[in-house]
Amino acid sequence: MTQPKIALVTGGASGIGAAAVRRLAAAGYRVAINYVGDDGPARALAGQIRDEGGECITLAGDVSDPAQVAALFDTTIAKFGRVDALVHSAGVDTAWPVPIAKIEDADVERIVRVNVLGTMWCCREAARRMGTSGDGAGGCIVLVSSMAATIGGRVGKTVYGASKGAVDGLAKGLARELAPEKIRINAVRPGATETPMLGAFAHDEVYARRIAGSIPMGRVAQPEEVAEAICWLASDAASFVSGALLDVSGGGFSIAS
């Protein structure tokens, strides 16, 4: 009998991460749901997964802290025996566009620590635990990047765009580095997606129309649409796919938006 695969999903309590948790659980994965802050959404999601017959755990942890990242992997392996897939969805941004001349030091540091360093820490620990030169049997990593990486982001979102450019670089470089370890790594690049991170979208109708109008398909994505791409990249159906940057963007977006 085939053993269920094990997935660790960072930022798994809301938005794209939560949609990925639900999709992976539906595909038969046992899932470790990482969250930071309030544990309510993670517990509610875990309850839903269990009610539907899935198996999961919830793990508090800040991905910008390398010690906490290591603990996420240690706890997942202690519970499930291994990690087959890392879906790294944790990420932050400012709620509203902020010109570079006005952005606060704390916001820049937070974006870089979570989006860039956090991605590096998570990839490092995945390589250590999954790599065949150690005790691992290989596996896959799916990073959640952004279409912002393609042109540096929308106006007022350039720090975020730069951070996601680093994520793309990691996916491309680590695909070569980790192939001998039997680890695949890819990134999905969502466009504007209806999640809490979109912030102002939910509170400003004019801004919402402008964002939707900048996308060729005329609307923002739903998290579940991005989760489908994530689940495919994590699956054996993508067994020869590594180093790919998969756009889930409705055709891209206008630089003028």
Q: Which residues are catalytic?
A: 160
Task: Give residues with Cβ within 8 angstroms of 93, minimum separation 6.
Answer: 111, 157, 160, 197, 199
Task: Give residues with Cβ within 8 angstroms of 62, minimum separation 6.
Answer: 36, 68
Q: Please tell me what DSSP assigns to residue 182.
A: T
Taking the C-alpha atoms of residue 75 and residue 148, their distance in angstroms, rounded to an integer, is 33
3-state SS, one letter per residue, for 16-31: HHHHHHHHHHHCCCEE
Taking the C-alpha atoms of residue 42 and residue 50, their distance in angstroms, rounded to an integer, is 12
- How do 30-35 and 56-60 pair as beta strands? parallel
Taking the C-alpha atoms of residue 141 and residue 144, their distance in angstroms, rounded to an integer, is 10
Single-letter code of the amino acid located at 44:
A
Locate tokens 């691992």: which residue? Answer: 136
